[in-house]
Each structure stands twice: as C-alpha cells, then as structure tokens.
Amino acid sequence: MILTDAEWAVIALSLRVSLVAVLLTLPIAYALAWLIARRRFPGRMLLDAAVHLPLVLPPVVTGWLLLIVLGRNGPVGSWLEAAFGITLVFNWLGAAVAAAVMALPLMVRAMRLSIEAVDRRLVGAARTLGASQFKAFVTITLPLSLPGIAAGAMLGFARSLGEFGATITFAANIEGQTRTLPLAIYSGLQVPGNEDAVARLAVIAIILSLGALIISEWLVRRSQGSRAHVL
C-alpha cells in the first residue's frame, strides 16, 4: 500500500498527538486509580463517576467544556497563556489534551484493576520488614501493577488515535496541526473523489488500533494469567 507524503504526515501527527496524550495522562491516571482502588474517603464515588464521565458524555460536550476552561478566555487557558505563553486551541498540543481527557477513563480502569490485583498483605509484610508506607508503595505496589500501567497506556494510546469529537470541537480541524487520522478521514469524505485515500487511512487506523488493543490485552494476560483481562 503506497501512501502519499500528506498521508504519512497525518499518521506521524496522529502518533505524536497520541503519544503526548498518553504521557500527559499517565501520572494523573495512576494517581486517580490508586486513590479509587486503595483509599476510602468521602466523595470517592463522585470522583469515580467524574473520571468515567468522558466515557459516556457526548464527546462534543467534552470538547465544549475544554474550550470553556482551556480556551484563550477560559480561567485555565488565559492563565496558561499569561504565565507560559502556551495556547491550546487550534494546535496539536490542544489535540493531545483533548485526546488525553478522552483516554483518561480507560487508563484509570486498567490501572485500577491491576492495583486491586496486588495483594495488600504483601504491603503489610513490607511494612513489618521496615518499609515506610511510601517505600512499600514504590517497591511492592508499583512494580506489581506495572503490567496494568503498560496495558492502560496502550489502551489510552488506542483511544487517543481514534479521538474525533472532542478534538474537532476543542482544537478544530487544521491540517498539520490537529488533523489526525479520524479528522483526515472525515475531511476526505467531505470532498468527492477521495475514496481511495479514505480507504487507505481507514485501514491504517484499523491496524494501529487493533495492534494497540492486542498488545494491552497480551500484557495483562502474560502477567496475571490467561483469565485476567483489561477490556
């Protein structure tokens, strides 16, 4: 399958946006997963629900909320611009932020399952051997939940690759900046005579997404047995 330079550029942009989205979300998702899995506090159910919100909310609503909060006139957006000179609307970083928010619930889910699978009694054993709470977390919980972190990252990556609604709402559809694979396919469909290009991009999207899903499922099964799953 021969791709044009413009199509390669779309794929490269998609991979970059998704990679940055996953890196942005990784520490936040793990912290949330740990809180929900291991702590009991008032408002835990609300936090759990809020984390899962992007999964069920219309993506266009998520994009609109991002626009309100992170747009140039938004409370966080105007602060980012004043303090760091960073704007998120209409550029690839904005596309990454939109993808990150949409990927968050899936990543938290995978990581939470793997943290819950870590035997808490091992943490107790570490404490009696002289480990502080933090030391026990770093030496026991973190390494034992590593497969879940990797699986969650792959899932988040797959989700980011497919992100459309929040991205087009928040970051718009700008070639070379925010026109990732799904947006390029959508744009291709708007103009007659692009059927071949659309088909090529769609096949790429399927291959990338399937690959990411299979890798994440394989990571979890390899470490937690054939009956464990992340999906």
Partner 1 sequence: MSFDVDLELLVGERRITCALASHAKLTALVGPSGVGKTSVLNAISGLLKPVSGRVTVSDDVLFDSDRAINLTPETRRAGYVFQDARLFPHQRVEANLAYGEKLAAAADRWITRREVIAMLDIGDLLGRWPATLSGGETRRVAIARALLSAPRFLLLDEPLASLDPARAERLSLLIERIRDELAVPILLVSHSVREVERLAGHVVEMG
Q: Which residue ranges make up the site for partner 1 (CB under 8 A)?
A: 119, 121-122, 124-132, 135, 139-140, 143-144
Nearest approach in angstroms of CB 146 to partner 1 is 9
Closest CA to 170 of 104, 93, 83: 93
- Cα distance between residue 132 and residue 217, in whole Å: 33
- DSSP sequence for 177-212: TT--HHHHHHHHHHSTT-HHHHHHHHHHHHHHHHHH
Residues 205 and 181 sit within 8 Å (Cβ to Cβ): yes
Task: Give 127's DSSP letter.
Answer: H
Give whichever of 129 and 199 is closer to partner 1, judged by the CB atom: 129
Torsion, Cα of 205, 210, 216, 221 (10° steps): 180
Nearest approach in angstroms of CB 137 to partner 1 is 13
Give whichever of 35 and 131 is closer to partner 1, judged by the CB atom: 131
Give whichever of 129 and 203 is closer to partner 1, judged by the CB atom: 129
- Cα distance between residue 198 and residue 189, in whole Å: 7
Give whichever of 80 and 142 is closer to partner 1, judged by the CB atom: 142
Give whichever of 58 and 124 is closer to partner 1, judged by the CB atom: 124
At residue 172, the 3 state secondary structure works out as coil
Nearest approach in angstroms of CB 34 to partner 1 is 18
Nearest approach in angstroms of CB 132 to partner 1 is 6
Give whichever of 31 and 146 is closer to partner 1, judged by the CB atom: 146
Q: Which two tokens stand for residue 225?
A: 């047995």
Nearest approach in angstroms of CB 128 to partner 1 is 4
Q: Which two tokens stand for residue 150?
A: 């990797």
Fill in the amino acid letter for 116: E
Give whichever of 75 and 143 is closer to partner 1, judged by the CB atom: 143
- DSSP sequence for 52-89: HHHHHS-HHHHHHHHHHHHSTTSHHHHHHHHHH----T
